Amino acid sequence: MKLTGAQMVVEALKRENVEVVFGYPGGSVLNLYDVLYDSDIRHYLSRHEQGAVHAADGYARVTGKPGVVFTTSGPGATNAVTGIANAYMDSVPLVVFTGQVATTLIGTDAFQEADMFGITLPITKHNYLVTDIQELPRILKEAFYLATSGRPGPVLIDLPKDIQQQQAEFVYPEEVNIPGYNPTYEGHPGQVNRAAKAIARAKKPVIYAGGGVVSSGAHELLLKLAETTGIPVATTLMGMGGFPSDHHLALGMLGMHGTYWANMAVHEADLIMAIGARFDDRVTGKLDVFGQNAKIVHIDIDPAEIGKNVKADIPIVGDVKLVLTELLKKVKPKEHKEWLARIDEWKKEAPLRYNQAEDGEILPQYVIESIYNVTKGEALIATEVGQHQMWTAQYYRFKKPRSLITSGGLGTMGFGLPASIGLQIGAPDATVFCIAGDGSFQMNLQELATAVAYKIPIKVAIINNRYLGMVRQWQELFFNKRYSSVDLQKSPDFVKLAEAFGAVGLRAEKPAEVIPTIEKAIATPGPVVIDFRVRPEENVFPMVPPNHAISDMVRGE
């Protein structure tokens, strides 16, 4: 059958079982939106293209399905760049359609022309500029395959206006054949055997689990591996929920703001099993002393990550779920009583702690732990970026995969609010909290209008310390308290702001008000913004200073 390019896109979305699109229309995608009008695909109109991409990102993370975005050309497309880069760093499957000027105008500096192919080349898994409508069906099929196969990531399709209007035969491929792209899913049997033998010999082993455990759906296998071998598990920020935080083998998060015992265990380990993780600098600290006493097993589907930062003694390229399936056939039950006792000593030596006075200022740790207690750990959490993000990782004990949605690799302020919208759309029956800083919240606060327009019942908990908190903390610790350009005392009244958008605004200024306010927010239909007025100069501890080993932690007061 003959279809226009715009019709081909929408037909491909149907065949890929896409139910939701996030976007913002404009002149170069009018044809696309006109076809979408007659489809059953739900479209959520964001208030900014960055918000649309973050919402699609949140949707993709909670559902495991690719998020889909439509933007117009020029500034509409460039506004999406931060969201695309964020998804790329965190391996999130997206298919982003950007409108483009007609092919006859490309390269002429036409109105609202931007070279999205060139701009997004370093921040997409793959991208396309469509110049021949005959190629469009193949490109559409490839885009969804690339976004979701191997190591997931964003794929961009730049779609000129005349390609959307032209007609051609639509034959949607059943299979994809991309020369040079053939992800390895099965781990090498010999390497899996070597890993099993290393586990059997180890006296002080640690599993270091990252986001690959979550994206591959390997959480149950990881739990079985840990319980069978008796190996404790530390998780990255992206890996949280991949191993239940309340399990006796759980070490919590490792790295710059990780637990003291997780970092000490990794520092003294004789075997580190990195599973679906990439040895990020926030995890490793000073590289030349990271895991210096340990044999390194590294399991990852992306061969480019293995050996990139830390040399692997036993590299295994493959899908985490499939590799762990084979590894479990070869490991034997084992206990590590002395090693676990040593870890317990570290837990007693430097526990996570804070002292919330009944009549004092609200502490941010207390707010987050209260959200955990009120929701019984069953809420889905999106965060912005900064101190509140680290406190969330420390004090909200994540038990299930895909329950924490946060910007890890890029550290994008403004991510949390729109991501929580996509999260709620993907999990409509869940209680969804966006834990935000007052600085990050203001980066994309316009998306409150989106939440109100579609009656999306997110609950936004603003940890309001009247500072750019993490920047202020670094200035306090490393720049002699020279607080340069971090004061946010002149922020808006967040309660009135919420009401102006049509949401409900609440405020807690005393510790006794925290739990009742959280309970009221959950009981209130629709979107709610809570302004928690917390101690301004509270710091996140423990902390590994820059250029230090992860064992060299500042523990705080």
Which residues are annotated as catalytic? 49, 111-112, 161, 470
Contacts of 252 (CB under 8 A, 6+ apart): 234, 235, 245, 258, 259, 261, 262, 394
Q: Are 22 and 59 in contact (CB under 8 A)?
A: yes
Helix (H, G, I), strand (E, B) or coil at 355: coil
- 492 token code pair: 């808006």
Question: Is residue 1 packed enough to be buried (19+ CB in 10 Å), middle (13-18) or exposed (0-12)?
Answer: exposed
Distance (Å, whole) CA 290 – CA 294: 9
Q: Kindly report the CA angle at 529 between 214 and 63, in degrees rounded to 5? A: 25
Distance (Å, whole) CA 251 – CA 46: 39
Q: Are 213 and 243 in contact (CB under 8 A)?
A: yes
- 482 token code pair: 């020279």
Q: Rounded to whole angstroms, what are the CA distances from 443 to 278, 336, 529?
A: 28, 47, 15
Helices (H), 39-135: 49-63, 75-79, 81-89, 116-120
- 473 token code pair: 């903390």
Kindly report the backbone phi and psi dihedral angles of residue 170, in degrees, each rounded to the nearest multiple of 5, phi listed first: -105, 105
Distance (Å, whole) CA 415 – CA 392: 15
- 52 token code pair: 């649309």
Strands (E) in 438-553, as ranges, are: 459-464, 504-508, 528-533
The neighbour count for residue 245, using CB atoms within 10 Å, is 20
- As beta bridge partners, residue 158 has 98, 129
CA 403 to chain centre: 10
Distance (Å, whole) CA 541 – CA 545: 11
Residue with tokens 């998020």, as numbered in its chain: 67
Q: Are 320 and 218 in contact (CB under 8 A)?
A: yes
- 356 token code pair: 């919330």
Residue 208, H or E segment: strand 205-209
- As beta bridge partners, residue 208 has 234, 274
For 155-172, the DSSP string reads EEEEEEHHHHH-EEE---
Q: End-to-end CA distance of the chain: give it in Å, rounded.
A: 71
Q: Rounded to whole angstroms, what are the CA distances from 394 to 92, 390, 398, 541, 545?
A: 23, 6, 10, 10, 18
